[in-house]
């Protein structure tokens, strides 16, 4: 085989065989195919697309390009979740202990964040002493013992995807649905879960800004999962404003604890209960969505989910007292109130700009080498649809460098549109895609 011929074939819109895709991924992983040829191939895919079979074959080639996690030693059905990214998305911190408190094994690998805030692993380091690295043996034992372990992704999990994504990032080929879907699903499949629940974000702070594109991406990912024997469900959820009240790292941990304590912002709570309910069904611990939802609400009400979070933090070397006393989490030195520039209703939010304000404060990484400040971030007290008076406090900015207040403040205030007329916010759960909705 020659890469030149395969580029030409895809350029003409023809379907590649499994053997041809395996060849591309294998040879590129071994540095036998140069970046310039892979770039040409990715651009051909961007314009000509891929069939469902091609997308599945690409997913599996990347999943098998490195280590695959064998979770067969863990008792029960292993359920995992993935979010396509969003501002203020701390759902894993909430959903995982809810599921584990009901006996569903959660063996989760999570990456570090690159962007406006840290990933789940970074956020968990807000707990003093928390260890994000466990041996495979210790990882499996902990899941069997307490039903929950969450560690950093190994460097050799779907390494072809990492290499290809880095190239997509600099060749304007990120935003192609088959490439997005195969990237996400290759890591989930390599991580060994039996059932996968996807939270596909839609709106101004998401990869997919409109429902049509979000639904198409969701259908592709559900099809991939089902075609390779993983029960897969995709929930399409709104990202036209930050999820919850807080954006940051320790601040989002604080908000997760609020939800697990029976408080917290309503939309965040609703999304977590929805995701967790589908995960409970996937884990065969509930007969219906209504049954699952009742169980989710009960573990919060009875404090079992919060206790499970404390047990999990303690098992990985963290200070469990901070779960029960979240005021002990890292705090920024300075705070500045965000004031409404005029009277009216909050009608729109450029969610990505809220994320950029957090990044300016030091809450995220611009490069892999950047250090995150776990204590900084933003609290937005007002949500879309709320009325504000001129000069009313809309939120609070938390910083450790007072010089960063102005650029963050300007970015944040310009992210919101205040209008005279009330405009109802978008529905939180836009659609749920299951096996019956796709051709498998």
387 is catalytic: no
161 is catalytic: yes
Active-site residue, selected from the candidate residues 147, 177, 187, 230: 187
Cβ atoms within 10 Å, residue 204: 18
Q: How far apart are CA 184 and CA 377, in angstroms?
A: 27
Q: How far apart are CA 269 and CA 256, in angstroms?
A: 9
The two beta strands, 195-202 and 79-83, are parallel
362 contacts 404 by C-beta, under 8 angstroms? yes
Active-site residue, selected from the candidate residues 10, 82, 365, 411: 82
Please, what is the angle between helix 250-260 and helix 304-315, to 10°? 140
168 is catalytic: yes
Listed residue (310, 86, 360) closest to 201, CA to CA: 86
CB-count exposure of residue 428 (10 Å: 0-12, 13-18, 19+): middle
403 is catalytic: no
CA atoms 257, 259, 265, 267: torsion sign: positive
Tokens of 264: 């917290």
Q: Give the three-state DSSP class for 17.
A: coil
Active-site residue, selected from the candidate residues 122, 161, 194, 238: 161
245 is catalytic: no
CA atoms 13, 233, 384, 122: torsion sign: negative
Helices (H), 263-327: 266-282, 289-301, 304-315, 321-324
The per-residue DSSP string of 115-128 comes to BSS--HHHHHTTST
Active-site residue, selected from the candidate residues 147, 162, 168, 201: 168
**Buried-exposed string 136-167: b where 16+ CB fall within 10 A, e elsewhere:** eeebbbbbeebbbbbbbbbeebbbbbbbbbeb
Task: Calculate the CA dihedral of residues 417, 420, 423, 425 and round it to 10 degrees.
Answer: 40
Q: Give the three-state DSSP class for 343.
A: coil
CB-count exposure of residue 377 (10 Å: 0-12, 13-18, 19+): buried
| DSSP state at residue 180 | H
Listed residue (252, 295, 360, 314) closest to 128, CA to CA: 314
Active-site residue, selected from the candidate residues 183, 186, 358, 375: 183
CB-count exposure of residue 21 (10 Å: 0-12, 13-18, 19+): buried
Kindly list the catalytic residues.
82, 161, 168, 183, 187
């Amino acid at each position: 085989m020659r890469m030149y011929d395969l580029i030409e074939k895809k350029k003409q819109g023809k379907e590649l065989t499994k053997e041809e895709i395996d060849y591309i991924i294998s040879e590129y992983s071994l540095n036998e195919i140069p970046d310039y040829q892979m770039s040409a191939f990715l651009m051909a895919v961007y314009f000509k697309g891929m069939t469902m079979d091609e997308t599945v074959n690409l997913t599996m080639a990347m999943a098998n390009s490195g280590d695959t996690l064998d979770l067969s030693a863990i008792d029960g059905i292993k359920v995992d979740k993935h979010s396509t990214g969003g501002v203020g998305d701390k759902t894993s911190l909430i959903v995982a202990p809810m599921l584990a408190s009901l006996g569903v094994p959660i063996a989760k690998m999570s990456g570090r964040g690159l962007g406006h805030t840290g990933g789940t692993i970074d956020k968990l380091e807000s707990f003093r002493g928390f260890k994000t690295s466990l041996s495979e043996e210790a990882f499996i034992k902990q899941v069997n013992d307490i039903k929950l372990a969450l560690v950093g992704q190994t460097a050799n999990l779907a390494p072809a995807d990492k290499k290809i994504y880095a190239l997509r990032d600099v060749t304007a080929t990120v935003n192609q649905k088959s490439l997005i879907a195969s990237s996400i699903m290759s890591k989930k499949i390599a991580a060994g879960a039996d059932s996968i629940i996807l939270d596909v974000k839609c709106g101004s702070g998401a990869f997919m800004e409109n429902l049509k594109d979000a639904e198409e991406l969701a259908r592709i990912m559900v099809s991939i999962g089902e075609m390779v024997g993983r029960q897969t469900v995709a929930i399409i959820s709104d990202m036209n404003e930050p999820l919850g009240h807080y954006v940051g790292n320790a601040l989002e941990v604080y908000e997760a604890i609020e939800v697990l304590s029976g408080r917290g912002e309503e939309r965040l709570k609703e999304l977590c209960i929805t995701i967790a309910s589908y995960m409970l069904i996937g884990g065969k611990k509930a007969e219906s969505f209504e049954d699952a939802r009742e169980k989710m609400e009960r573990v919060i009400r009875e404090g079992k989910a919060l206790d499970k979070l404390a047990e999990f933090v303690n098992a990985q070397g963290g200070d469990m007292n901070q779960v029960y006393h979240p005021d002990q989490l890292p705090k920024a030195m300075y705070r500045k109130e965000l004031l409404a520039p005029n009277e009216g209703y909050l009608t729109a939010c450029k969610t990505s700009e809220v994320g950029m304000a957090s990044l300016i404060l030091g809450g995220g990484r611009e490069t892999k080498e950047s250090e995150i400040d776990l204590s900084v971030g933003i609290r937005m007290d007002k949500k879309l649809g709320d009325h504000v008076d001129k000069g009313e406090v809309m939120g609070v900015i938390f910083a450790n460098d007072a010089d960063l207040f102005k650029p963050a403040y300007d970015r944040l205030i310009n992210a919101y549109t205040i209008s005279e007329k009330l405009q109802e916010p978008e529905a939180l759960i836009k659609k749920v895609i299951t096996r019956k909705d796709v051709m498998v």
